[in-house]
Amino acid sequence: MQYNLLYGKLSLYLNSLPSIEDSDCINLLTGSNQNDIVLSLHANQTINDSFLGARLFWLSEESELDRTGSFVLKIRKADKRRILRPYFNHIHAIVDEIENQRKRELRLFITDGGSAGKSRWRSTPFTHPSTFETIAMESDLKDKIKSDLESFLKAKQYYRRIGRVWKRSFLLYGPSGTGKSSFVAAMANFLSYDVYDVDLSKVKSDSDLKFLFVETTPKSIIVVEDLDRFLEEKSKLTSSFSVSGIQNFMDGILSTCCGEERVMVFTMRLIHTFNKLITTIQDSFHVYQYLKVPEFNENMQYNLLYGKLSLYLNSLPSIEDSDCINLLTGSNQNDIVLSLHANQTINDSFLGARLFWLSEESELDRTGSFVLKIRKADKRRILRPYFNHIHAIVDEIENQRKRELRLFITDGGSAGKSRWRSTPFTHPSTFETIAMESDLKDKIKSDLESFLKAKQYYRRIGRVWKRSFLLYGPSGTGKSSFVAAMANFLSYDVYDVDLSKVKSDSDLKFLFVETTPKSIIVVEDLDRFLEEKSKLTSSFSVSGIQNFMDGILSTCCGEERVMVFTMSNKEQIDPILLRPGRVDVHIHFPVCDFSAFKSLASNYLGVKEHKLFPQVEEIFRQGASLSHSEIGELMIANRDSPTRAIRSVIGALKTDGDGRGSEEMIQRQIRDDDVDSSQERFNTVKDLRRIYSLFRKRGSRRSQASISPMP
């Protein structure tokens, strides 16, 4: 009963294989560090391995008598003679590496300059105590990094199989003193890797940097600290090596040939600083010209081009990347508009050229100006088309603010005539008036604003400039009002597609062709159409609907359009119809809850708090519900008395939580209004007695709490 050393080595080897994670059952054990987790193969589980093109299967067995274990190798007979001995030699080599990794003393190597025939590195024992347990970092991020490094340690064969050098690179960025150096030490202790600290101030040339790399050893971390500071101060250094030399150091042919089993770490203060510095270095190879657009001319007359430029630059998505921007109130009180602050730069691109606008402000008279920085090589080619582009964009923005909206409805049409008839669109709904969660509302507004500014982006990625929404939920929950709010927010016309009047797939295509840019195309109750299609006289197909959503016609003629589809329930709809590309955004419209009720009360009654609100909240908590439209109608009918309006909602919720009771109450109140409109809208006592009578009649078939008449 002597212990088989090969069994122990096999256990260590198999537990190091990445394929252990694919086993149906594995043991999780504590590693050498208290917080480390080690995977171990469970009894009666199989793990796969591959070697020299052969597939091998290891089964972990456990005796039921004495609980001793064994490993059983399953190998093809044709492969056995060819690979068995080399395979076990490979196992011994991997196990020796793992064991040496646990035992070896770590060393820190620092740049020494060196000379011909001497090493460029001097070393000292690396005794930094930092570990992943001692550094201050979010637990989830820490676990992901440890998992990444563990996977790297085991991935030698994988990297060879895919033809890549077995190395890993990290960028650590953040202000000084935030723990970047301690993190590198924690990585070294975790991997049991030596550390090579590259001091760029002692590197004399690109060739010198290459020799430094060549003299590093496997199982090492190569660290370049404060890379951004080096790039920023390069002109002050005596070194003559280039940015290209740094790039080749990172991933050039030398790095790919001599970088096996290494981790490269670069640190810098801020990532955007690095991007700016790279731009600065690239700029040194180009000649730039500057064009100034002042706010006032020599005679102190306002420069209209300055106003247009301000409107254009503030509409660019890249304004959000500026270091300082002003937040201003828009045309609507709750809208926030971004405006470029003085002495800030904003980037733009046009016909492949990069342009930079600087916003300047005079210290004497506080007048402003914009300065365009443009490459001399690009100026003659793009300057005139670029300003024509600016004028066109500004005209679009201004027209969007002024244009009268129209609602187009399906007319059937005939040869030579339009299939649409229009009428002015005057729906007053806005995002401020609809009952919806504030966060969701803000996200949708942000999405639509981003869409309006994204023409160039969509063109750059080769996609048609359109957006699709699915609104789903019970009837009366505000889907139509939401479409109207979108139209008013975007200043887009609305095309209402009536599928019952569409005779064929071809007819549907012609309807789409006759829509115009800056429009919302609405298909209401799409689920009802799909359910009742057999009852309709139309002969167009589901495939026709799909092509209407994202077919070749939609992608060619759908520029600057928003498509909206509404339905009661999407669960029964084929997911293929609603896949991304056909529908970009799904928005659920549930029945009214207490939060939506408060929003309706604020909008319809001008009430933000009321003594009856706790009672309403309790009824909603018990599961009662009405649609937004039903509650809205009750509030409209009693708008002169918020207390009476809220009591009527309470009565409807108590009578019939699914909304059927509210309809009778609304009808009763409207009839009373029609009889004598000169009197106050409702007499509270009289009205409640009528409601009580109505509830009493329904009491024979439902045992619900009734509202007692007021004394």
Whether 133 has a pLDDT exceeding 80, the answer reads yes
**Interatomic CA distance for residues 470 and 524, integer angstroms:** 10
DSSP secondary structure string, 457-517? HHHHHT--SEEEEEEE-STTSSHHHHHHHHHHHHT-EEEEE-GGG--SHHHHHHHHHT--S
pLDDT of residue 205: 79
Least confident of 323-332, 456-465, 614-623, 638-647: 323-332
Domains 107-225 and 406-588 agree in fold: yes
Q: Which residues contact 689 (CB under 8 A, 6 or more apart)?
A: 709
Residue type, 153: L
- Average pLDDT score over residue span 424-452: 87
**Interatomic CA distance for residues 483 and 470, integer angstroms:** 11
Q: Is 3.40.50 the CATH classification of the domain at 107-225?
A: yes
CB-side exposure of 97: number of CA atoms within 13 Å? 16
Least confident of 82-91, 687-696, 700-709: 700-709
pLDDT band at residue 260, thresholds of 50, 70 and 90?
confident
Residue 348's H or E segment, with its range, is strand 344-350
Residues constituting the chain: 711
pLDDT of residue 330: 61
pLDDT of residue 141: 93
Q: Is the dihedral of CA 582, 586, 591, 597 positive or negative?
A: negative
171 or 25, greater pLDDT: 171
**Interatomic CA distance for residues 501 and 29, integer angstroms:** 68
Q: From the CB of residue 49, how many other CB atoms can be counted at a distance below 10 Å?
A: 18
- Average pLDDT score over residue span 123-132: 84
- Average pLDDT score over residue span 19-35: 68
Least confident of 23-27, 189-193, 379-383, 443-447: 23-27
**Interatomic CA distance for residues 476 and 481, integer angstroms:** 10
pLDDT of residue 402: 58
Show me where the domains of the chain are located: 107-225, 299-401, 406-588, 592-657
pLDDT band at residue 353, thresholds of 50, 70 and 90?
confident
pTM: 0.41
Average pLDDT of the chain? 77
Q: Which residues contact 451 (CB under 8 A, 6 or more apart)?
A: 467, 562
**Interatomic CA distance for residues 425 and 49, integer angstroms:** 68
pLDDT band at residue 553, thresholds of 50, 70 and 90?
low
Q: Which CATH class is domain 406-588?
A: alpha beta
Q: What is the pLDDT of residues 185-218, one digit of tens each?
A: 999 989 988 899 988 877 877 777 887 888 888 8
CA angle 466, 591, 446 (to 5 degrees): 30
Whose tokens are 């247009």? That residue is: 308
What is the three-state SS of 226-284? Answer: CHHHHHHCHHHCCCCCCHHHHHHHHHCHHHHHHCCCEEEEEEECCHHHHHHHHHHHHHC
Q: Which residues contact 599 (CB under 8 A, 6 or more apart)?
A: 435, 436
**Interatomic CA distance for residues 437 and 442, integer angstroms:** 9
Could you give the 3-state DSSP secondary structure of residue 688?
A: helix
Least confident of 206-220, 239-253, 461-475, 490-504: 239-253
pLDDT of residue 678: 32
pLDDT of residue 520: 93
Query: What residues form DSSP beta bridges with 493?
Result: 519
Q: What is the pLDDT of residues 654-704, one digit of tens each?
A: 875 544 444 444 444 434 443 333 333 433 334 444 444 444 444 443 333
Q: What is the pLDDT of residues 373-430, one digit of tens each?
A: 988 888 888 888 999 999 998 888 777 665 678 888 887 655 445 678 888 888 888 8
pLDDT of residue 304: 82
pLDDT of residue 470: 92
Could you give the 3-state DSSP secondary structure of residue 377?
A: helix
Q: Which residues contact 153 (CB under 8 A, 6 or more apart)?
A: 101, 191
